[in-house]
Structure 1
Amino acid sequence: MEAVLTAAVELLDEAGESALTFRALAARLGTGVGSIYWYVTSKDDLLDRATDHVLAGVLTAVEGQTGSDDPIADLRMMAVTLFDAIVDRPWLAAYFMRNTDVQGNSLLLYEKLGRETLRLDLTPKQRFHAVSAVVGVVVGTAADLGQEPPEEVLSGAVDRDEFLDRYAATWRAADPVQFPFVRAIADEFAGHDDREQFLAALDLTLAGLRLQAGG
């Protein structure tokens, strides 16, 4: 199973979900397709188990990141670790916590995030909403960043900054009555740092959680 999952993750890392077929996996392992069915029942099962395999490493990474006097700071460190893992492996976003019956590590990571909220003065519903919000910011933002760039950026015809500048220029020229906000943030959009944008969204979420917990 370890060899199957390691090879599956390699294929996913190289070219995403479309590259992970039983034929390709069998070729990578130097075995027949039929032998893979000894370990997994379907492609969905394989994807869930490959996700769980990767999340074992994320769990190891967050061990030792908790235990400070500030549960929200600990929650932030774990969230950033998960974000970085998904940015490195964009395919991970689609399968995180999809099937916790199979993804034991996914559930353990969710538990570790939620355990920090047990140290705060919150109701069960508030805790549930808090962790849902943090996971949503992490997974949603990482998934957005993991989208394949436009062909002209992939081909090298333009770089990322040139691509963003083109839109920023359009936004600056927009009707000031109809698009006052878009015009106001055009300069910030041009050349913005994606990770900085994620951290700002995460910190806004956690600041709201801190207020809800009484400061």
Structure 2
Amino acid sequence: MVKNTPRREDALTRERIIEEAIALLDSSGETGLTFRALAERLATGAGALYWHIANKNDLVTAACDAIVARSLGVQQADASPQDIIRVVALELFDAIDAHPWVGPALTRAPWQTPLVRILERLGQQIRALGIPQAEQFAAVSALLGYILGVSVQNAANAQTGKQLGGDRDAILGQVAGAWSQLDADAYPFTRSIATQLREHDDRVDFLAGVDLILRGLQRG
């Protein structure tokens, strides 16, 4: 007996495929993103997807680019370069937190559109700050490395937290308790920040790091 697959009545577009791919990536990760699973969600045949998307790598990159474009689309009228950098950084931090697969997708292909979008937005602000031409590449690299590195690690921490039960306060409390019991001579600094670990705000600390980089660039 042949099983009939319900067919969609609206036209299949690249944009619609990407939106469904994002939903599938969010729910199942990259391992769960297959053309068969995506075709089922779209009520079409897998072959129809290839008219719009070359392969899975192309699809993940396109999905990542859609998320990045939305994050960078926030308007900052009359904002200073510093404020624009902060907004961009926080939007990307939140986007990677909401879509943990975006971080690895960005770092795998530094020459592709999603990362180039970020590079261009940050680079324009570095120029606006008056950073000398010879120092602009290093400045953007430092910012980009910090933003992506911390954002990816934060998303990974959140996933680990879910695996451990999802109670962030309880998990941080356990770690802080362990740190406070470390040998005082061998780990004086780690012991001293145990209370801060328990109470810290990830987004606030992230922006504090961005500000440290910005202050260093302007003093240079």
Structure 1 length normalisation: TM-score?
Answer: 0.85
- 1:192 positional shift: 1.9
Q: Kindly indicate whether residue 132 of structure 2 is the aligned counterpart of residue 120 of structure 1.
A: no
What CA distance in whole angstroms lies between the structure 2 residues aligned with 1:188 and 1:60? 34
Aligned 8 A contact 2:89 2:147 in 1: yes
Aligned 8 A contact 1:4 1:29 in 2: yes
Which one of 59, 72, 75 corresponds to residue 82 of structure 2? 72
Q: Kindly indicate whether residue 58 of structure 2 is the aligned counterpart of residue 48 of structure 1.
A: no
- 1:14 positional shift: 1.8
| Amino acid paired to 1:6 | E
Q: Kindly indicate whether residue 91 of structure 2 is the aligned counterpart of residue 81 of structure 1.
A: yes
Which one of 132, 141, 149 corresponds to residue 141 of structure 2? 132
What CA distance in whole angstroms lies between the structure 2 residues aligned with 1:18 and 1:3? 20
Change beyond 3 A, Cα 1:113–1:66? farther
What CA distance in whole angstroms lies between the structure 2 residues aligned with 1:140 and 1:176? 30
Give the aligned length.
Answer: 204
What CA distance in whole angstroms lies between the structure 2 residues aligned with 1:102 and 1:131? 17
What CA distance in whole angstroms lies between the structure 2 residues aligned with 1:101 and 1:39? 21
Partner of 2:208 in structure 1?
A: 200
Which one of 137, 141, 144 corresponds to residue 153 of structure 2? 144
Which one of 170, 178, 190 corresponds to residue 178 of structure 2? 170
Aligned 8 A contact 1:97 1:107 in 2: no
Aligned 8 A contact 2:21 2:63 in 1: yes
What CA distance in whole angstroms lies between the structure 1 residues aligned with 2:108 and 2:164? 33
- 1:97 positional shift: 6.5
Aligned 8 A contact 1:48 1:98 in 2: no
3-state SS in 2 of match to 1:175 = coil
| Amino acid paired to 1:89 | H
Deviation string for 1:114-172 (max 9, x for gaps)? 11111233233421121222222222112112121243324xxxx22122111211211
| Amino acid paired to 1:201 | G
Q: Percent identity?
A: 37
Instruction: Name segments (4+ residues, structure 1) moved above 3 Å.
Output: 97-102
Change beyond 3 A, Cα 1:80–1:24? same
Partner of 2:198 in structure 1?
A: 190
